[in-house]
Amino acid sequence: MRPITKNGLKRRQKLDHAKESFWRRYVFSVDHKMIGKQYLITGLLMTLVGGFLAFSFRHQLAWPGESVPLIGPIGPDQYNAFVTMHGTIMVFWVAMPILLSGFGNFLLPLMVGAPDMAFPRLNGMSYWVFFLSTVVLIASFFVPGGAASGGWTSYPPLSAEPGYTGVFWGGHLWILAVALEFTSMLMGGINFLTTTISMRAKGMSFFRLPIFVWMINIASLLFLFSVGPLIAGALMLLADRLLGTGFYLPASGGDPLLFQHLFWFFGHPEVYVLLLPSLGILAEIFPVFSRKPLFGYKAIIYSTIVAGILSFLVWAHHQFISGIDPRLAAPFSVTTILISVPFAIMLFAFIATLWRGSIQFSTGMLFALGMIAEFMVGGVTGIFNGSSAADIYLHDTYFVVAHFHFTLFPVTFLGAFAGIYYWFPKMVGRFLNETWGKVHFWVTTLSFNVVFLPMFVMGLAGHQRRIFDPTLFDYLQKHQYLHVIATIGMMVMFAGQIPFVINFVVSLFRGRRADRNPWSAATLEWVAPSPPGHGNFDTELRVVRGPYEYSLPGQQKDWLGQTE
Ligand code: HEM
Ligand SMILES: [Cu+2]
């Protein structure tokens, strides 16, 4: 397959235009913008599933044994399955498709000044393979034995021996679904990289690319480099389950630790695959709403590359008490704590961008600010987990659950909402309502803290995670009220999404109309019409400057677009 040329694309567009049916346009589309939207919508719909699972098991934690609305009381096996599927869905079917594939697909060609992705058909196939993976995953709830319940990390021997959990088909389907999802993401990654390398507009040198584009590419590379070992690991797991091999089963001479290494060699880079696109979204929003150039453009790029490399050297911080050689704990603690340095540099760069800017608190900006504020709590508590001495106590407690939700929730939802409020005018040519957007922001962010701050306290008090009924343990009784607070916080947070859903649907059809560049932003996507048509740009592009030229001295307006 060769990357498509400009002429080739024009020819294809003519053909497409002539006979473009409903199916071609909205369903089996090869247009990166439609594919981006498909990913975005699918990810948002999967949030309902992942969120409902969280609702069910949090209900159980606060009021054990009581009937959960819509599904009735849940039992211990179901609890395990729900926690497992919640984690799996939120990481692979919500965060990845929304942040990497959704925003990446919609924005990357526009930002580099390309008419489409390098491989549009591969791109369409990537979405439909993803869709298939979603169907397989959802189906796994309905097979005999129910869905996978060995945790989102799927550690053997629990996951390798179906007899231990009673989950037979659910486990196989889990592996199949994840494999399909990875295939889809790999196709997407190849497209991102090729498009960035070979389809940039005239004058768009690498150091004129918006940070978001850098982030999508680095994230794609991390995914490409890390996923191989896990695929090997998953195949061996499937063989243990189906063929009676014993890669992970001590009784047959295998070793369960092998899977942990393979999983986390992938797993830690994977969390950066989620984080980087979200940071990329912030890097686009901060300069626009503080009317200042992004501080430390190159420092951010180099820090990200350093963090990306380091992310391959930290994996065993998940295994401090798994029985690894104790001499390995110190080096992995060091690399883990070291990795906070590049992220601190990025954070300082963002704060320096805001410093003395003329800040406009649009909804997108509020979500972006909320994202770094909350993420900082997640990052700082990660240093506790990263120190092996502290982690021996903290491991597998609610402290860890609180820590990673303080990273992943802001990354996934606050970052995505920031991007949605900011780029919605480009995607559909209409604004989301800002007043309701602000209600959405405040309810979501404040209640998020009510859900997860109590978990730090519970964790420090020794409350383990993946506990079906905390009231069965005497030493946990005095913390039960914290479970109740967290669950009520979650209900408020979910209710807070109703204004968003209504706003989203109503604005699609009735929102205030947006012109090409409603926020006076400098990057290329704002040169295209809102929404962009076939081939994206209706003007010839010649990029002459970097992406963040705001408030330059001696200029009449306070910004210069990349082509001006
Ligand atoms: C919508 C709000 C959310 C709520 C109320 C929530 C709640 C929880 C709770 C209470 C647990 C621990 C359950 C236990 O150990 O028994 C958990 C586990 C987990 N959550 Fe969330 N969560 C939310 C969003 C997210 C997001 C956005 C992500 C990732 C992008 C995520 C990823 C995970 C993972 C990976 C686990 C671990 C699953 C396992 O132990 O196998 N969650 N969640
Ligand atoms: Cu890690």
Tell me the mean pLDDT in the region 257-286: 97
Query: Any idea which ligand is nearest the CA of 452?
Result: 1
Closest residue CA from atom 34 of ligand 1: 87
Q: Is 116 exposed, middle or buried (0-12, 13-18, 19+ CB in 10 A)?
A: buried
| 268 Cα to the center of ligand 2, angstroms | 4
Tell me the mean pLDDT in the region 400-420: 98
| 342 Cα to the center of ligand 2, angstroms | 15
Q: Which residues line ligand 1 (CB under 6 A)?
A: 51, 54, 57-58, 83-84, 86-87, 90-91, 95, 151-152, 401, 405, 408-409, 412, 451, 465-467, 490
Ligand 1 atom with the shortest distance to the CA of 486: 5
Whether the CA torsion 265, 381, 47, 144 is positive or negative: it is: positive
Tell me the mean pLDDT in the region 30-34: 96
Give me the residue label for tokens 């409603």: 518
Both tokens of 302, joined, read 């180099």
Q: Is the pLDDT of residue 11 over 60?
A: no
Rounded to whole angstroms, what are the CA distances from 507 to 2, 33, 261, 424, 434?
39, 18, 47, 9, 11
Rounded Cα–Cα distance for residues 435 and 432 (Å): 9
Half-sphere exposure of 532 (CA within 13 A, CB side): 28
Q: Is 337 exposed, middle or buried (0-12, 13-18, 19+ CB in 10 A)?
A: middle
Instruction: Identify whether the C-beta of residue 112 lies closer than 8 Å to the C-beta of residue 196.
Output: yes
pLDDT for the residue numbered 543? 97
Predicted structure pTM score: 0.94
Rounded Cα–Cα distance for residues 201 and 540 (Å): 9
| 393 Cα to the center of ligand 1, angstroms | 20
List of residues 6+ apart from 451 with CB closer than 8 A: 405, 486, 489, 490, 493
Closest residue CA from atom 13 of ligand 1: 466
pLDDT for the residue numbered 16? 53
pLDDT for the residue numbered 188? 98
Span 145-185, pLDDT tens digits? 999 999 999 999 899 989 899 999 999 999 999 999 999 99
Instruction: Identify whether the C-beta of residue 289 lies closer than 8 Å to the C-beta of residue 364.
Output: yes
What is the rounded average pLDDT for all residues in the chain?
95
pLDDT for the residue numbered 412? 98
Give me the residue label for tokens 């410093």: 355
Residue 555: pLDDT band (50, 70, 90) is confident
Q: Which residues pair with 234 in a beta bridge?
A: none
Q: Is the pLDDT of residue 17 over 90?
A: no
Helix (H, G, I), strand (E, B) or coil at 534: coil
| 257 Cα to the center of ligand 2, angstroms | 16
Span 287-325, pLDDT tens digits? 999 999 999 999 999 999 999 999 999 999 999 999 888
Which H or E run includes 483?
Answer: helix 480-495
Query: Any idea which ligand is nearest the CA of 415?
Result: 1
Tell me the mean pLDDT in the region 476-494: 97
**CA 479 from centroid of its chain's CA atoms:** 31
Residue 26: pLDDT band (50, 70, 90) is confident
Residue 87: pLDDT band (50, 70, 90) is very high
| 431 Cα to the center of ligand 2, angstroms | 38
Type of residue at 68: V
- Written as one string, the DSSP assignment of 357-371 is ------HHHHHHHHH
Residue 534: pLDDT band (50, 70, 90) is confident
Rounded Cα–Cα distance for residues 208 and 545 (Å): 7
List of residues 6+ apart from 411 with CB closer than 8 A: 95, 99, 274, 275, 278, 371, 375
| 487 Cα to the center of ligand 1, angstroms | 13
Query: Any idea which ligand is nearest the CA of 57?
Result: 1
Residue 20: pLDDT band (50, 70, 90) is confident
pLDDT for the residue numbered 324? 87
| Nearest CA-CA partner of 90 in 37, 138, 54, 132 | 54
Of 61, 152, 401, best ligand 1 pocket probe by most atoms within 8 Å of the beta carbon: 401
